[in-house]
Structure 1
């Protein structure tokens, strides 16, 4: 993660940009999944971890976790990332899928 980049959130509360897009593919199981994570500020002054996941090419599902402290959000971000990496998710280097998943 680049310490020089700032996330443009509505209240300017997030100190560093946290965005991640990973995929898990297995042709033998007809599996093509994505998982996207981002940390954003809310209009109510909280920090929000946004998780999006689903089959590649679909909108998928989304859940948001709100925190008063950015450190707590980062902790969950890293915990989810470790779990997904253990299950075989890997970074996808290409803006097309990542921007779609993160902005959905």
Structure 2
């Protein structure tokens, strides 16, 4: 069982380069009790690509989650800006 929820959604938008990307991650259990790191990425507005990695322990999944978060922040990904209503 996962001790706390891990969910992330970040975007990288640069109009001058026609760049509008997203990256989403979450740590979820599967039906067999394994811990999975689910990653989805692509152009904003598309289905994108998905990768699922299986881990025996939650600690390993969290370590990779945090490392990927650091890498994405370094490359300019930021949480989605809220849109005023």
TM-score tier by shorter-chain length is: over 0.9
Q: CA RMSD in A?
A: 0.9
1:70 aligns with 2:58: yes
Displacement of 1:92: 1.2
| Structure with greater strand share of residues | 2
TM-score, with normalisation over the residues of structure 1?
0.77
| Structure with greater helix share of residues | 1
1:92 counterpart residue number:
80
1:34 counterpart residue number:
22
Displacement of 1:93: 4.9
Q: Which runs of 4+ in 1 moved over 6 A?
A: none
SS of alignment partner, residue 58 of structure 1: coil
1:10 counterpart residue number:
none
Unmatched tracts of structure 2, length 5 or more: none
- Equivalenced residue count is 82
Q: Hey, what's the Cα distance between the residues in 2 that align with 1:80 and 1:93?
A: 20
Unmatched tracts of structure 1, length 5 or more: 1-12, 95-104
